[in-house]
Chain A
């Protein structure tokens, strides 16, 4: 659930990968990044000992630092994920004690930060391409790529529409009973859907007119290099360390 305060209304979809070029990890093969980060996240999610969880969190922070991503960007995304984490932590504080609450918060944060780095330092198309090369079915990855492209196009159109709407002094409504507000919102959403549907047939023809058959793939595909392998091995090693610590300590 996304609870946003009304004043922070942003209708432009800014994909995370705008920083991909300046991130230090930008040049790595997407497959390596995907596998490495996923292994780390899975391992981190399995941790329950507080001290080890903080080791994992520290690793995530190191990753954020190493990625050379702008801190504000990372912070903004992290804050976006916070509400749910906080709700969970709250219940922990009430029922399980502070310790478990803090553990949960640290664990979730470690995972979220790692994912933020992954998403922000990889071009979205490359990310989906990487998934494809990791054997995810073509239908899915093609859908992902196309949807992504048109999310950007449609949100541009939407931000132009809402600019016009706001110019006519509509400011978002007060509460659920504000019928007028709901009407305007559903009409705006309706416009978006109509446009998206009208595009659908044209996009089909656009694809066919360029000979598309079933798979959207990149042109110059990267080859796994030394740094990619090193990246993956680092994560695998880190995850192994975490898991060993977790299980040994329990035993």
Chain B
């Protein structure tokens, strides 16, 4: 989902840049010392490794392929902070060196794939793994799969949100109309997410058998001392990560609520459609509600997930006593 320049509404793109720089800046300041002391090459090499791993296309069916994003993997291997920095490096290199993704759109691309995706992946993994890993033999794999899938799906959802808000706010000059952007992004990435989940699970399994110290020292060596402590604080941090994603998407909703509806009405007006051509008209009536549906869906998904996990965590804690 590398968005090129000229596609997103300038205001949305600006929001993307501001949010990305804020998050990246904060992470760099907080983790700066830890990185500079020893981990600079490790982050660089992980970024390089994930970049190269992205080249390996996996078959989706029908002759098309998708590719790994690797955000969840990065977060599982190195923790959320370093994953944000490392994935940002990947996104920047893709844009500047390969023209994969624009520069005005870099803020949004990085927000989706280098902030939201790793945070989601890490958040889900941190929340789900302690619960599942002892419950069933495949517990670890399941939590990794869920984390990977969620990272892709939510990143795609935020991308869809950005597209449809762009469309609405700019009265049809930018972005992609909801009826196309939402099904396309979400539908495609439901499938891609499965591929990502499968490969990430396979990857971690490979690492566990070939280089297990990679999984432990990679994490403990680089994660700040605070997170090594009680499980509880990890949960809190993971929940915070997921909520943060929300907070990041919020401005888009506000923008939509304030300027978007008018824009969409303008689109309808300009589109000059015949009265009563139901096929073309229908999407417009849904279009206005698309964002709410999308947001509601994501909200619901997150709320259900968090509460279910919280519940499970509570049960486990009770059971352990």
Q: Do chains A and B touch in the complex (CB under 8 A)?
A: yes
- Neighbouring A residues of B63 by C-beta, 8 Å: 5-6
Pair B55/A91 contact, Cβ less than 8 Å: no
How many angstroms between the C-alpha atoms of A97 and B208 in the bound complex? 54
Which residues on A sit within 8 Å (CB–CB) of B191? 176
Task: Tell me the smallest distance from the CB of B273 to a CB of chain A, in Å.
Answer: 9
A197 touches B46 (CB 8 A): yes
| Chain A CB within 10 A, most for which of B4, B100, B176 | B4
Closest-by-CB residue of A relative to B44 is A146
Q: With a CB–CB cut-off of 8 A, which chain B residues contact A81? A: 4, 99-100
Q: Does B102 contact A (CB under 8 A)?
A: yes
Contact of B35 among A112, A139, A199, A207 (CB under 8 A): A139
Asked if B181 is at the interface (CB within 8 A of a chain A CB), the reply is: yes
Which 3 A-B pairs rank lowest in CB-CB distance, beginning with the nearest? Answer: A186-B202, A196-B49, A190-B206
Residues of B within 8 A of A6 (CB): 57, 59, 63-65
Assess whether B267 is in contact with A173, with CB atoms less than 8 Å apart: no
**A1-B42 in contact given A112-B102, A158-B52 (Cβ < 8 Å):** no
Determine the chain A residues whose CB is within 8 A of the CB of B58 once the complex forms: 173, 176, 181-182, 185
Nearest opposing residue in chain A for B90, CB measure: A147
In the assembled complex, which residues on chain A have CB atoms less than 8 Å from the CB atom of B176? 87-88, 91-92
Interface residue total, chain A, C-beta cutoff 8 A = 95
Interface pair A94/B45, CB less than 8 Å apart:
no
**CB under 8 Å from chain B, chain A span 36-92:** 38, 41-42, 44-46, 48, 77, 80-81, 84-85, 87-88, 90-92
By secondary structure, the B interface counts as helix
* Contact (A45, B13) CB under 8 Å given A112-B5, A148-B93, A196-B49: yes
A13 at the interface (CB under 8 A from B): yes
Is the CB–CB distance between B99 and A77 below 8 Å? yes
* In the assembled complex, A204 has its CB within 8 A of some CB on chain B: yes
A residues within 8 Å of B by Cβ?
1-6, 9, 11, 13, 15-17, 38, 41-42, 44-46, 48, 77, 80-81, 84-85, 87-88, 90-92, 94-97, 100, 103-104, 107-112, 115-116, 118-119, 124, 127, 137, 139-140, 142-144, 146-151, 153-155, 158, 172-178, 181-183, 185-201, 203-204, 207, 214
B173-A100 in contact (CB<8A): yes
| A108 & B177 in contact (Cβ 8 Å cutoff) | no
Taking a contact as CB atoms closer than 8 A, the residue among B6, B13, B175, B202 that contacts A183 in the complex is B202
In the assembled complex, the CB of A196 is this many whole angstroms from the nearest CB of chain B, namely 3
**Closest Cβ neighbor of A103 among chain B residues:** B173
Contact B44 A154 (CB under 8 A): no
Q: How far is the CA of A42 from the CA of B179 in the complex (A)?
A: 28
CB-based nearest A residue for B13: A45
Q: Which residues of A contact B214 (CB under 8 A)?
A: 193-194, 197
Residue of B with least CB distance to A214: B36
Which A residues lie within 8 Å of B42 (CB)? 197, 200-201, 204
How far is it, in angstroms, between the C-alpha of A178 and the C-alpha of B57 when the chains are bound?
13
Contact B56 A188 (CB under 8 A): yes
**Contact between B199 and A151, CB atoms less than 8 A apart:** no
Chain B residue numbers with a CB within 8 Å of A85 are 4, 7
